[in-house]
Amino acid sequence: MRIWRHITIALIGVFSLEHSSVSSAQEISQLLRDEFKRPTVITFPDNAPYSPQVATLGKMLFFDPRLSGTQNMSCTTCHNPSFGWETPVEKAIGTKNVALDRHAPTVLNLYEAPQFFWDGRAKTLEEQAEGPITHPKEMGANFPDLIARLEQIEEYQYWFGMIFPEAGITKSNILTAIATFERTLISGWSAFDDWIAGDENAISNSAKRGFDIFTGKAGCSNCHSGWNFTDHQLHDIGLETEDLGGGIFAPDDQSRQHTFKTPTLRNITDRAPFMHHGDLLTLRDVIAHYETGGIQRPSRSKLIKDVKFTNQEVEDLISFMATLTEPNPNIKAPSLPPR
């Protein structure tokens, strides 16, 4: 294993059993909890290995409004670290003061994802980073003008010259830097992680019941799976929408219509409103949607279950999801190069 390909993101507690024999139910519970253990490393692609210098440059670019055509918004305008790297509104506002078509998705924990955007149209983080920068309704820039602008900034000349000495400031190097920074955006350790690591007092009994409902009766973990609580796949969950999602790229495939990427549930209580259109304001609203099953149509996922929850079960589900949010995340904006 090449060390430069990985950086440590968490320390996993060692499980121990107090008794030599455990019940079958306890064994099943432990196996289930093991599925949600955090990984200890971030894996970077061979063609974009981790470098602290590249990640630092990417962070500067991510926060810099000079990457937009009118220099009035940065990547953080839509992916605000104070709101789980989203924005607390139904639709973010683009560079021309016009609402965008979809709710801004979080950029947390994307290093492992095989596809990006709500509709899965990008296959790499570099490709994803290019989309908002050049989209006319979002940041509205073009790379020839952007490169010329950055070349006039002495500190960017220095950084790019040091990190990419052969090519300097290029479209490819800008996207590599941003994508490298994005791969380091990992949600922090939460109470749920303490519980998974063996601290039975880390979460409430209500949250423990909520986990059982989440992984059992409700079937949420069929899509919200693993430590990141997402399968990274596209599903139609029956939302009322004219947006075809992934179906835009497969108009003749009925199973693809109205499908959207499963979002992570990490830091979920920081990230309201919810869904691709942002019109479900609370987690209670989200649960209520799943109780109805949504619109029945050919593309609706077969994983959607006909399920009803008691008031206590709703409270327990919300208590559980709250344990996935890290306490008091400390995100510092970088010092940007002067003009």
Residue 15 pLDDT more than 70?
no
> Could you tell me where the DSSP H helices lie in the chain?
24-34, 52-63, 75-78, 125-134, 143-151, 154-163, 171-183, 191-196, 205-215, 283-292, 311-322
Alpha carbon distance, N-terminus to C-terminus of the chain:
42
Sign for the CA dihedral angle at 131, 87, 273, 331 comes to: positive
| CB neighbour class for 95 (10 Å; exposed up to 12, middle 13-18, buried from 19) | buried
Q: What is the pLDDT of residues 215-242, one digit of tens each?
A: 999 999 999 999 999 999 999 999 999 9
The partner residues of 43 in beta bridges, in order of sequence, read: 6
What residue ranges of the chain are covered by domains with CATH 1.10.760.10? Answer: 52-183, 189-322
Outline where DSSP puts E strands in 257-310.
Answer: 260-261
Q: Amino acid identity, residue 61?
A: L
**Model confidence at 12, in pLDDT bands (50, 70, 90)?**
very low
The helix (H) or strand (E) run that includes residue 8 is: strand 6-8
Residue 21 pLDDT more than 70?
no
The partner residues of 240 in beta bridges, in order of sequence, read: none
Stretch 141-163: mean pLDDT: 97
Threshold 0.85, pTM exceeds: yes
Per-residue confidence (pLDDT) for residue 25, from 0 to 100: 55
Q: What is the pLDDT of residues 131-144, one digit of tens each?
A: 999 999 999 999 99
Per-residue confidence (pLDDT) for residue 31, from 0 to 100: 79
Q: What is the pLDDT of residues 278-287, one digit of tens each?
A: 999 999 999 9
> Could you tell me where the DSSP H helices lie in 37-102?
52-63, 75-78
Stretch 84-107: mean pLDDT: 95
CATH fold label, 52-183:
Cytochrome Bc1 Complex; Chain D, domain 2 (1.10.760)
Per-residue confidence (pLDDT) for residue 32, from 0 to 100: 77
CB contact at 8 A, 197 and 12: yes
- In terms of Cα–Cα distance, which of 143, 189, 154, 207 is closest to 8? 189
Question: Looking at the domain that runs over 189-322, which CATH code has it been given?
Answer: 1.10.760.10
Q: Out of 39-43, 133-137, 169-173, which region has the weakest mean confidence (pLDDT)? A: 39-43
Stretch 60-75: mean pLDDT: 96
Q: Residue 65: how many CB atoms within 10 A of its CB?
A: 16
Stretch 300-317: mean pLDDT: 95
The helix (H) or strand (E) run that includes residue 207 is: helix 205-215
Q: What token pair was written down for 238?
A: 């029956």
Contacts of 215 (CB under 8 A, 6+ apart): 32, 221
